[in-house]
Amino acid sequence: MKAIQNNPQSVAKDSQIVIALAGNPNAGKTTLFNALTGLRQKVANYSGVTVERKEGVWNFENQAARLIDLPGLYSLEATSLDEQIARDVLTGKVTGLPIPDVIIAVVDATNLERNLYLVTQILEYKIPLVVALTMIDEFEREEHEINTSKFSKMLGVPVIAVTASKNRGIDELTQKVSELIQIKPEIDFELETDSSHSENAKIFARYNFISNIVQETVKHKDLEKHRFSEKIDRVLTHKVFGLIILVAILLLVFQTIFSWATVPMDLLEHGFGAIGDLVKANMPEGLLTDLIVDGIIAGVGGVLVFLPQILLLFLFISILEDTGYMARAAFLMDRLMSRVGLHGKAFLPLMSSFACAIPGIMATRTIENPKDRLATILIAPFMSCSARLPVYALMIATFFAGQTVFGFISVGAILMLGMYSLGIVTAIIVAFILKKTLLKSPPPPFVMELPPYRLPNLRNVFQNMLTRAWLFVKRAGTVILAISIILWGLMNFPRAGNVYVNTPNSQNLAEEQQSFQQSEQLKNSFAGKIGHFIEPAIKPLGFDWKIGVALIASFAAREVLVSTLGIIYNGEKDANEESETLKNAILDAKNPDGTPVWTPLTALTLMVFFVLAMQCMSTIAVVRRESNSWAWTLFMVGYMTALAYVAAFITYQGGKLLGFA
């Protein structure tokens, strides 16, 4: 016996105490988890599914325990993925995770009956359990009273009142948990049901048991609980004002992501530019320097530039979720969203995707049903994001500047509105088709709690924001780094020999020589060859091989189209949608037969293609991560690109038939 105890393996096992936190959504579970673990936590997925696996280290009484934060649950027996995972954790079916030594059940004191339902289920797993009674200050403020010792006795497990944000009850909870680990009390819990033993009879028996306890131990001074919330709801979910306020909140979120975020984004962009210049200045000229500057720094920089938007969106989402407003937004929008078979909760992620699909797709995590979530992810990139703007802007500025309809409506504005509408309409149609075919499932049920309004917990908000940001940087960053290097390689190999510009009288010979060298390099590179190779396929869209190269490069990120066109046409590397020389170069470009490459119709076709095509490796990486499936990711890239091709084909050929060209 002693020999076994001294076995180092069993010692290691003993030191690995596992404690699970379980509770209803909105019960204060996250606040408690953050208070117990601080920053010592990690977020991953349970293997093979998209359910988030949150684990932290809880240091107590000289030992470190693994604290598992189970997903928010109402029940352990219904069919949702979260509930299945929670069950697997409680029965030790998750690899690398033994059956928990103790469970802390988080119970919201202001919503006792429904919160206790889960506890009656957990008790059946016969794992030592302690109830952490949260929101007790709110409960007392509403002048309710609870006889905790009687409550604990009737339930058969210890009950500790905690207010995690004020550290109240944490020490007692710690003490109780370590006590339970030592004693390992036997749990014997069985409810009597009627003779049928049906599932329904079990539910009735549980609620009978609960009602009994609550009746005996709780005194409600004022039966009208959550009066404050009801008053706020009168305005926020009002048929008219509610919608107006929702729009106003969305505008604020957009304004922030769309325009205010540009300040830190520009800073980041310039910062990476400066780092690139610094490296260039301090390293010998050559391929390695080019790889580091143009491949790695530019590639990674191109991703990190999105970070301010992601941080800001998640700041808003966390606040909206923590206050309870998110559920109201879903409540207000569900009727509209359910028309296309989506859940009300899909509204916000889709709206966010107008700024950038990446945070939008990450925000779909609030949708529980995996099929609804996937459908939302698959249509989110149709929302015209900010990266498409430079492309639209360049095309409009070059071909439609100053034109008006009826003398006062600018053609540019109409085209802009048209591109946004095309994305929205396509998204609606695709969602409708997906929900009828591949992602066929009954219309998602909308049984959703409207939690009482509460002040957001700052710690939760910031922790959530940082976790998301870190996940994005870590996962998307690795994939993007690889793709950036590949793209750089495609555009720089094989090497073109030195070619010389033959305008010896030019004043800026050195500069012209460099840009000429660059466009020659591109022409002879693999990317250039691919451009030539796909030319027959894109010819019906009115695109030549040069536009083809720009299209290929823009699969890294849409706005890359502008800088690539810059390189192709005159080696103007820092081209942007405002640059006059690029506009002129585009207008001057000629086909071998002397006709212009670009016409207004080509520009329109290109814009249509950009609305619908999946050209953003950051999004691809995020979709892969969020859907946990390469098959769905490739499906998305495939169907979007096919759709873009068909729509561009119809635009160009239709336009030609109608006599535009």
Nearer to another protein, 342 or 391 (CB): 342
* Closest of 160, 77, 146 to residue 111, by C-alpha: 146
Nearer to another protein, 240 or 455 (CB): 240
Classify burial at 346, counting beta carbons within 10 Å of its beta carbon; exposed 0-12, middle 13-18, buried 19 or more. Answer: buried
Tell me how far, at minimum, the Cβ of 94 lies from another protein, in Å.
23
Nearer to another protein, 30 or 120 (CB): 120
Beta bridge partners of 335: none
Tell me how far, at minimum, the Cβ of 461 lies from another protein, in Å.
23
3 state SS of 257: helix
Q: What is the 3-state secondary structure (H, E, C) of 570-613?
A: HCCCCCCCCCHHHHHHHHHCECCCCCECCCHHHHHHHHHHHHHC
Tell me how far, at minimum, the Cβ of 453 lies from another protein, in Å.
11
Question: Is beta strand 144-146 parallel, antiparallel or unpaired with respect to 218-220?
Answer: antiparallel
Tell me how far, at minimum, the Cβ of 335 lies from another protein, in Å.
4
Give dist(CA 551, CA 88) in Å, integer: 47
Tell me how far, at minimum, the Cβ of 213 lies from another protein, in Å.
13
Tell me how far, at minimum, the Cβ of 325 lies from another protein, in Å.
13
Nearer to another protein, 204 or 649 (CB): 204
Nearer to another protein, 203 or 265 (CB): 203
3 state SS of 324: coil
Nearer to another protein, 218 or 422 (CB): 218
User: Which pair of tokens denotes residue 620?
Assistant: 């691809």
Tell me how far, at minimum, the Cβ of 23 lies from another protein, in Å.
14
Give dist(CA 432, CA 375) in Å, integer: 9
Output the CA–CA distances (angstroms, integers) from residue 499 to 98, 463, 516, in the order listed: 67, 55, 8
Nearer to another protein, 340 or 355 (CB): 340
Tell me how far, at minimum, the Cβ of 204 lies from another protein, in Å.
6
Output the CA–CA distances (angstroms, integers) from residue 289 to 196, 411, 572, in the order listed: 76, 44, 20
Nearer to another protein, 39 or 243 (CB): 243
Cβ contact 53:66 at 8 Å: no
Nearer to another protein, 77 or 511 (CB): 77
Give dist(CA 501, CA 517) in Å, integer: 8
Cβ contact 531:549 at 8 Å: yes
Cβ contact 361:626 at 8 Å: yes
Between vectors from CA 397 to CA 395 and to CA 403, what angle results, nearest 5°? Answer: 110
Tell me how far, at minimum, the Cβ of 100 lies from another protein, in Å.
23
User: Which pair of tokens denotes residue 425?
Assistant: 């309409």
Nearer to another protein, 112 or 310 (CB): 112
Tell me how far, at minimum, the Cβ of 369 lies from another protein, in Å.
11
* Closest of 347, 430, 472, 437 to residue 638, by C-alpha: 430
Residues that bind another protein (CB under 8 A): 74-75, 77-79, 110-114, 117, 199-200, 203-204, 207, 225-226, 229-230, 233, 237, 239-240, 242-243, 327, 330-332, 334-336, 338, 344, 445-452
